[in-house]
């Protein structure tokens, strides 16, 4: 039921549908109805963004995540209780100074390490409850990893690097080669299928890594400082690649970064300090001088 007030006679009209003229004075009501609709849509958008009202589908949830490293007799806490919900299809950046625990968080979310206490759920599955086989399956199929140091297998060609996760997934070798070739062509490396990592530039290696991360159609891409070892221009290329993938295929991108260009394309930015979440920013709430940065980039 919507309530409209006639702008001429002040008549209150209550209807489930839409009124175009006032039943009392026959005045035109379309402007009023349109304005009310606009306000409604605005409110809806606000509600969607308001986490206290809207429930999202979360692909990653962490509850009270702590991690303590033991260095001899000394205990070094890296994370001191992190509660973080990451939505499906979100582009999330994790920021923080080195030693703040962002890499640790990254490792725990990726199932590469086990938390000291607390739990991490991916698709509502507690990672700690998984058997070694299930965990390997999860890493192989659900998560694609991208690293600062690229981490390609040095003895394998680009194509072999991309097809390796497909071998683990049990794909047939014809299908595997075709898919690997297609992925590499699509990241612009169709002419370098049989090059070894050391024969490729940093940006090209990282693109191979992106193709490899996409090998088994993951739901999440975990990127640990993906632009850390790249110059501004190639770094920007990788960021754009990740962002477009995020928009086009709905893959959730979680990346640890210092890079302001990365922050610019993020939906949310999580700031971590001393093993705790300091604050979470939404992209629309922060201001970045992207223009000046763009100017610098073209100069490079």
Interface residues with other proteins (CB under 8 A) are 59, 88-89, 107, 110, 112-114, 123, 125, 130-134, 136-142, 145, 147, 149, 151-156, 164-165, 167-170, 179, 182-183, 186-188, 207, 212, 214, 216-221, 237, 240-241, 244-245, 247-252
- Nearest to other proteins of 93, 157 (CB atom): 157
C-beta atoms surrounding 204 within 10 Å: 19
Nearest approach, Cβ of residue 196 and other proteins (Å): 9
Give the CA distances from residue 56 to residues 86, 91, 94, 111, 284, in Å, rounded to whole numbers and listed in that order.
9, 14, 20, 23, 19
Nearest approach, Cβ of residue 294 and other proteins (Å): 19
Listed as own residue / partner, the contacts of 270-273 with beta carbons closer than 8 Å and 24 or more positions apart are 270/84, 270/92, 270/93, 270/94, 270/95, 271/95, 271/96, 272/82, 272/94, 272/95, 272/96, 272/100, 272/101, 272/102, 272/105, 273/96, 273/97, 273/100
Nearest approach, Cβ of residue 206 and other proteins (Å): 12
Nearest approach, Cβ of residue 233 and other proteins (Å): 13
Nearest approach, Cβ of residue 129 and other proteins (Å): 10
- Nearest to other proteins of 1, 155 (CB atom): 155
Nearest approach, Cβ of residue 17 and other proteins (Å): 36
Element (H, E) at 64: strand 58-71
- Nearest to other proteins of 6, 111 (CB atom): 111
- Nearest to other proteins of 33, 169 (CB atom): 169
Dist. CA 82–CA 108, nearest whole Å: 11
By the 8 A CB rule, do 198 and 154 touch? Answer: yes
Element (H, E) at 120: strand 117-122
- Nearest to other proteins of 131, 292 (CB atom): 131
- Nearest to other proteins of 143, 270 (CB atom): 143
């Amino acid at each position: 039921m919507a309530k409209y007030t006639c702008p001429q006679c002040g008549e209150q009209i209550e209807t489930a549908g839409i009124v175009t003229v006032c039943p009392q004075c026959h005045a035109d009501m379309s402007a009023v109805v349109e304005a009310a609709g606009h306000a409604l849509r605005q409110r809806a958008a606000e509600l969607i963004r308001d986490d206290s009202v809207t429930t999202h589908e979360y692909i990653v949830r962490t509850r009270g995540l702590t991690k303590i490293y033991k260095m001899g007799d000394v205990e070094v806490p890296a994370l001191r209780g992190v509660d973080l919900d990451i939505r499906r299809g979100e582009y999330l950046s994790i920021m923080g100074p080195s030693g703040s625990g962002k890499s640790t968080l990254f490792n725990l979310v990726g199932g590469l390490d086990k938390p000291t206490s607390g739990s991490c759920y991916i698709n509502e599955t507690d990672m700690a409850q998984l058997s070694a086989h299930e965990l390997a399956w999860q890493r192989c199929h659900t998560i694609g990893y991208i690293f600062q140091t690229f981490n390609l297998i040095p003895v394998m060609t680009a194509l072999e690097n991309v097809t390796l996760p497909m071998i683990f997934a049990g794909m047939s070798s014809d299908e595997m080669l075709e898919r690997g070739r297609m992925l590499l062509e699509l990241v612009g490396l169709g002419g370098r299928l049989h090059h070894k990592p050391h024969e490729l530039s940093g940006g090209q290696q990282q693109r191979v890594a992106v193709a490899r991360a996409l090998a088994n159609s993951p739901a999440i891409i975990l990127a640990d400082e993906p632009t850390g070892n790249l110059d501004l221009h190639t770094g920007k290329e990788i960021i754009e690649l990740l962002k477009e993938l995020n928009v086009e295929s709905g893959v959730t991108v979680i990346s640890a970064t210092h890079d302001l260009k990365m922050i610019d394309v993020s939906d949310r930015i999580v700031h971590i300090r001393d093993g705790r979440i300091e604050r979470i920013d939404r992209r629309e709430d922060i201001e970045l001088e992207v223009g000046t940065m763009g100017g610098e980039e073209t100069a490079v």
